[in-house]
Amino acid sequence: MRLDLSKVWKAYGEGASQFWALRDVSLTIDDAPMIAVLGPSGSGKSTLLHLLGFLDTPTRGSILLDGTSVEGLSDRELSLVRRNRIGFVFQQYHLNESLTTLQNVMVPLELARVRDRRTVAARVLDQVGLASKLGSYPSELSGGEQQRVAIARALANAPELILADEPTGNLDSTTGANILELLLGMNREKGIAVVLVTHDEAVARSCDVQIQVRDGRVL
């Protein structure tokens, strides 16, 4: 998967209250790198991640997916790209509280109408070390375990890119290190590109590439 951001600007609000979250960002993701996006709060890290994940569209500039502009893609086509090629991991895990661990991981498989979704979900949960927690609800899991479920959900449809928004931000250092290890493993062993937003310099150092974002600009 190759993603090219070319002179991308992103504004929120209108008129006097307009605010530029990203300014003139150009960036290429190719060949399954492990990228850390660093920067203070409000610098535009999450906005960048949302644009890379097709959750949002740029105000100006263009995004190319495998060399083709995504500008003309319909909401449905963008949804399919997210479903089949991208996995998301959030700081707050964002699991559905009414679903079990296994069911949470089955959601993207269900949307993609994958056969044997139960088996696939159980296998992915086994990969993240949660084989014994398939029937547990999020409220019964620790923070680290919940983030593992979120990673398993991101991995379910065998994505080419994982976008992780401060995945270790809510975890203690040991658990955080384990989660980071898990993501690194996915990158190294499965060749999945990972873009990781973090505040943590140590986390950033373990990645192949570090991108600094300040006031909406990539330095």
Partner 1 sequence: MLWMILANARQRRARAIMTVAGVAVGVGTLFALLAVSAGMESALEREIEGLGAHILLLPEGCPYTLTLALMQGTDTLEYIPQDMVPEFTRAENVRLAVPVVVGRVRLGGEQVSVYGATDGLFTVKDWEGTGFSGAVVGSDVAARLKLAPGQSISLELYETVTVEIAHILPRSGGRDDTFVFVPLPTAQTLLGLSGRLSAVLVQTTDVARTAPTRFALSRMANVQAVPPSDVFDMLVTLFGSIKSTLILVTGIAIVVGVLTTMNTMMMAAYERKKDIGLIRAVGATRMDVFRMFMVESLGVSLVSGVLGVALGYAATHLLPRTSGFGLQSSPAFSLGYVALCLVVAAAVGSISGIYPAVLAARTQPIKALREL
What is the contact surface with partner 1 in residues (CB under 8 A)?
50, 53, 55-56, 75-76, 79-80, 82-84, 87-88, 90, 92, 94, 96-99, 103, 107-108, 110-112, 153-154, 157
Query: Rounded to whole angstroms, how far apart are CA atoms 189 and 215?
Result: 35
- Shortest Cβ distance from residue 206 to partner 1 (Å)? 26
Nearer residue to partner 1 within complex by CB, 32 or 80: 80
Distance CA 32, CA 29 (A): 7
Shortest distance in whole angstroms from residue 23 CB to partner 1: 19
Least Å distance, CB 7 to partner 1, is: 21
Compute the least distance from the CB of residue 205 to partner 1, in Å. 28
Identity of the residue, 170 or 212, whose beta carbon is nearer to partner 1 in the bound complex: 170
Query: 76 or 205, CB closer to partner 1?
Result: 76
The single-letter code of the amino acid at 141 is: L
Q: Are 36 and 204 in contact (CB under 8 A)?
A: yes
**CB neighbours (10 Å) of residue 3?**
22
Q: Smaller CB distance to partner 1: residue 100 or 198?
A: 100
Taking CA atoms, 155 is separated from 10, 85, 120, 178, 199, in Å, by 28, 10, 10, 17, 24
Structural tokens at position 15:
């008129």
